[in-house]
Structure 1
């Protein structure tokens, strides 16, 4: 898969990224069916397949249960092969299956240091604020994007941004950082103005829920995966879409569909 430059950074990322929530968490999620967490062997094989297929972007977060900790072991010896995206702000309790949010600058500093330790790395390529939906208030009240930019200046982060849920938040995040992660798929195009802004101002866009957390795949008729990728990659603002699967065949078919969609542009 041909890599794409993320905004004005020196990061080159694949147009599909591997989401790893399913490596560390199977409680309190919105996928259509329950799943068991993969074994270390299964997870290693999945990561190896992703690399073989040309994927170099891997997405994780403290909110994904044990995902960061597992990746810290699974990526041993291959750190240079991966662009790691993690997050701050959302915390997950594996015992209760509940999330909570902490956006103070002090917690952000703590969270980043914890992620560095869990991931067994000296730097995180992309670090995003994990919004609770109050995007603008979070940015303005806590100044978190400036905190991340300061950490970037220290070399602990290579690119900053925010996983947003509103148009206003996405636009504000792009004005103050390198990228935004937004929801954009066949059933949700509300945040398209954020993609338009990114295309016009050379900012990065990562897509979450590109397949609507798997729900689009339950539709009958036209191949829903191919239709989804045709749709999202037609927008020039899209840098990469994060696909969270632990099924090797799904991963292969996702990459094939994405490559076909991109070649059609």
Structure 2
């Protein structure tokens, strides 16, 4: 497993980051309840197998059910071997409003305390805002509390999980947020616009949605009619990958890692076979120029919206 520096944080992470949402709560296609998930013993075995294989970077969140607890239990005696990234609870109330300053600070600090307790550690390597928008990124109290937590040694680095390129750019330019986790994949490459800026500012980039909830795998076939153009575009990637002797998921992962600004690629993993497949994709020579050039994004990237497709029932 190769490693990369996480921007200017001084933290070195594995190129593959283990995404912990699937082991913590029902999430993803075909997972409707806890009965569809790994049991605790299996999840612990999966986490330890990943670490033994060289995966040292683990992403979780207060909102991910039992994920933090499982990681804490799995790595109880190996804390020094892993980099733990967790995300604060959502900060807006049910109406979408941010609470007053004192309540906001209390919510952040209690969330971090809960994360540390569940993970069985006294510090996080990376503490992220969860679903950060520009108001949250710029909020004086939020910025101050996160910086205070870092000064107190509770987080080595602070950052934000963003969605739009505008949010990512604001975070990178702020001089406050040192790590940005953002969506990027073959179909939707809009965040490419901020990569150079992140490198210039020394901000570490962690890429998620690389496989687009599994659509950039064998599951990207026989999609419903509204996604016919998406399926056709995916078929083009698959044909190009096959012609070059690699699988579509490998193409998708290595395409993201071909960008030197990217520190790590985040994959949600909840099966030993998925871990094995991911590991087989890494540690290879850089992607060929023809494969990089062939990674043409979908012509309407704003249409690449998994939550919208879910709401419309197009992924069932």
Alignment length, in residue pairs?
253
User: 1:235, CA displacement in angstroms?
Assistant: 1.3
User: Do the aligned partners of 1:69 and 1:119 also contact (CA within 8 Å) in 2?
Assistant: yes
Give the 5 Å matches for 1:211-222: 211-217=211-217, 218-219=219-220, 221=238, 222=241
Q: 2:63 aligns to what SS in structure 1? A: helix
Find 2:152's aligned residue among 141, 151, 154: 154
Q: What runs of 5+ residues in structure 2 fail to find an aligned partner? A: 221-234, 242-246, 290-316
User: Do the aligned partners of 1:145 and 1:160 also contact (CA within 8 Å) in 2?
Assistant: no
Q: 1:216 aligns to what SS in structure 2? A: coil
Distance 1:255 1:101 in 2: 42
2:6 aligned partner: 6
1:127 aligned partner: 127
Distance 2:117 2:84 in 1: 14
User: 1:52, CA displacement in angstroms?
Assistant: 2.0
Distance 1:249 1:49 in 2: 11
User: 1:71, CA displacement in angstroms?
Assistant: 2.0
User: 1:143, CA displacement in angstroms?
Assistant: 4.0
Q: Deviations over 1:150-197 (max 9, x none)?
A: 111110000110000121211222232211000000111111122221
User: Do the aligned partners of 1:159 and 1:178 also contact (CA within 8 Å) in 2?
Assistant: yes
Distance 2:111 2:98 in 1: 10
1:171 aligned partner: 169
Alignment of 1:226 with 2:250, yes or no, is: yes
Alpha-carbon spacing, 1:33–1:215, altered in 2? closer, same or farther (3 Å) = farther
TM-score (norm 1): 0.88
User: 1:258, CA displacement in angstroms?
Assistant: 2.6
Alpha-carbon spacing, 1:212–1:254, altered in 2? closer, same or farther (3 Å) = same
Find 2:139's aligned residue among 135, 138, 141: 141
Give the 5 Å matches for 1:17-96: 17-26=17-26, 29=27, 31-34=28-31, 36-90=36-90
1:259 aligned partner: 283
Alpha-carbon spacing, 1:236–1:245, altered in 2? closer, same or farther (3 Å) = same
Structure in which a larger fraction of residues adopt strand: 1
Q: 1:18 aligns to what SS in structure 2? A: strand
User: Do the aligned partners of 1:129 and 1:144 also contact (CA within 8 Å) in 2?
Assistant: no
Output the aligned Cα RMSD: 2.2
Alpha-carbon spacing, 1:80–1:237, altered in 2? closer, same or farther (3 Å) = same
User: 1:2, CA displacement in angstroms?
Assistant: 2.2
User: 1:263, CA displacement in angstroms?
Assistant: 7.2
Question: Which protein is bigger by CA-based radius of gyration?
Answer: 2
